[in-house]
Chain A
Amino acid sequence: MKQPLFDIQDLTVSLGAQRIYSQFSARLPDVGITGIIGPNGCGKSTLLRCLGGLATPENGSVRLRGVNIGQLSPIARARQIAFLPQEPPVLADMTVEGVVAKGRTPWRKAFLPSSRADRDAVNQALETTQLIELRLRRLTALSGGQRQRAWIAMALAQQTEVILLDEPTSYLDLPHQIRLMQLLRHLVDQQGQARRVVVVLHDLTIAARFCDTLVGLSDGKLVCAGPPSEVLTPKTVMQLYGLRAQVHPDPVFARPVVYPEE
């Protein structure tokens, strides 16, 4: 088998007194977009944090293409993995450009002004996310969709192989969800091997349509992993969500769609 993107071995993680994962092992294949799905509280966000090296596991290791990320320095890690958590409740008083420039943090030297490379990376990220016109707008003056694009632009400016996103589509209406996922798709397809996205998603239809691989989690256990057409079946939907459902391909893209029977 090809080397996996992320190789998780015997991971044990607790949040406070609650054990989220115990001896959890999984391999995420090296494909463009990997979607993590599962019911609320199943540990999706915690897994994403572990992949980003932000949660300290009590035991076990997470390897990114063979490199144990627990042993990387914060800066070295930040040069390889970009992580976008769910939006904070209070928005910083910053401009779009200011936020995107923050993505350069791991590449910048302390106390020095931004370099040519920094400015180029920021400009390119703004261009890719179509935010050039809005670069001097404040975050608070943006719509939800524009703000999500600003976060993604920050991750792009970070110039990492891997981008991790925690539920980027929640709070967005359907067209904005589609635009956002198309943007991610575009990023991955354009860069080939050089860019991988791992994204936590709630909407199974969106997940099935845009992801190359789906990873299903329930109660800290790996339930299924593979291409959407193999993973989304009545059986796995029952295992994941305890929901009786039929799964049929949609008439337009022939991607699996879950129809709950309850």
Chain B
Amino acid sequence: MPAKTNGNVMSRASFAFNLVLLCLGLCFCTALSLRFGAAPVTLEALLNDTLGLLESRMFRTVCAICVGAALAISGLMLQALTGNPLADPGITGINAGAALAAIVLAYFAPFSSGMAILLAASLGAGFAGYLLWHLAGADPVSGAGGIALRLPLAGLAIETLCLALATALILTDAEMQARYLRWISGAIPVVARTEIAPLAVISVLLVAGYFTCERLELLSLGAEQSASLGRNPNRTIALVLACVTMLSGASVAIAGPLAFLGLLVPFVARGLAAGSLRRAYLFALPLGASALVLADTIGRVIARPGEVHAGIIASLLGGPALIMVLRRVLRPARWHAA
């Protein structure tokens, strides 16, 4: 018997090892983010915190952790749902839809609460998702092969349209420019705000999402297979989409529409997880958080005393990484043709 379970024990040990490693990585990134910022200060001054710098950096880091994890998870869930490794809230236009809705709200009701912005953004995300489903002709899972290319193409159209509209709305008004131009390029908020609703929503959803993994995995075996094992596939799709759109809405409400993270982090997490969605989920949390915290920290340090927004850093690093992913994704097809 021990010989049979040996492989399992090994795989469990390496899972725990990887997870601990990733969490340590996140701790390290968090420390960096707290220590280094646009203003160079000594460690002593920072710890005494006469300027309130540490507090503002803490809030900013917590935001980056939540948003990074939220983007990674919504990407992971979308990829498992569509069976398409290119699906993520950025490329599918879901984040852009959320951003447009948030801007429209801000335009007509300038002093909306964080919760109102979150709800508007989630609605926008949901609407973009709905549009995508129809444009891409997505028949979940069973027709996934056919939508391999249509999904990102339709998403790109939605993303471009929504972001163009949102930017246009921002540029019409000096007040709007002052408040949202940073946000639309993916800046993590600098000043601590009392509105912590989006952060709370993300935390709750990240826990709830973990419990949909079983169902989602079952659905990825096919809608009929899921039904025959007693789990209604439509309910799974609804649960996952609700989770994804609200995660996207909340993360956009905090930090604007960020690209690439939701694509790349799940890719790495799935590679590490060796075929278990729940493990990939647990890997994606610290990975996504670390990636955004790191991007934000780099952005604060490289252009002192100015700042490069995390969204721009993420795109800078994400572009080349995306090319790597594409090569990996396209390889089997090429091999097949040869």
Contacts and interface: CB of A to CB of B under 8 A. Distances in A.
Given A111-B211, A136-B7, A136-B274, A52 B228 contact: yes
B217 A102 contact: yes
A162 B272 CA distance: 37
Interface string B96-129: 0000000000000000000000000000000000
Q: Which of A82, A90, A136 has the most CB of B within 10 A?
A: A90
B300 to A, nearest CB: 36
Interface string B51-91: 00000000000000000000000000000100100000000
A102 B218 contact: yes
A81 B229 CA distance: 9
Chain B's interface size range is 20 to 34
Contacts of B274: 95, 136, 138
A113 B190 CA distance: 42
Given A88-B222, A89-B142, A136-B8, A94 B275 contact: yes
Interface in A70-125: 73-75, 77-78, 81-85, 88-90, 92-95, 97-99, 102-103, 105-106, 111, 123
Contacts of B225: 83-85, 88
B276 A90 contact: no
A78 B228 contact: yes
Contacts of B80: 93
B229 A106 contact: yes
Contacts of B270: 93
Contact of B276 (A95, A123, A135): A95
A93 B229 contact: no
Contacts of B11: 136
A42 interface: no
B4 interface: yes
A54 interface: yes
Contacts of A81: 228
Contacts of A188: none
A213 interface: no
Contact of A54 (B8, B228, B231): B228
A54 B229 contact: no
A197 interface: no
B218 A105 contact: yes
Interface string B175-201: 000000000000000000000000000
B224 A83 contact: yes
A89 B217 contact: no
Given A93-B270, A93-B275, A74 B145 contact: no
Interface string B221-239: 1101101111110000000
Interface string B133-144: 000000001111
Contacts of B230: 73-75, 77-78, 105-106
Interface string A146-178: 000000000000100000000000000000000
B220 interface: yes
A139 interface: yes
Interface in B154-187: none
Given A83-B224, A135-B7, A136-B7, A74 B231 contact: yes
A195 B8 CA distance: 30
Nearest to A90: B83
B108 to A, nearest CB: 42
A103 B276 CA distance: 15
Contacts of A95: 274-276
Interface string B1-22: 0001001100100000000000
- A-B residue pairs, 10 tightest by C-beta: A78-B230, A83-B228, A92-B220, A90-B83, A89-B145, A95-B275, A88-B222, A74-B230, A75-B230, A105-B229
Given A52-B228, A78-B229, A92-B221, 13 more contacts: A54-B227, A74-B227, A81-B228, A85-B228, A88-B222, A89-B145, A93-B80, A94-B276, A94-B277, A98-B275, A99-B221, A135-B8, A158-B229
Interface of A: 49, 52, 54, 73-75, 77-78, 81-85, 88-90, 92-95, 97-99, 102-103, 105-106, 111, 123, 132, 135-136, 138-139, 158
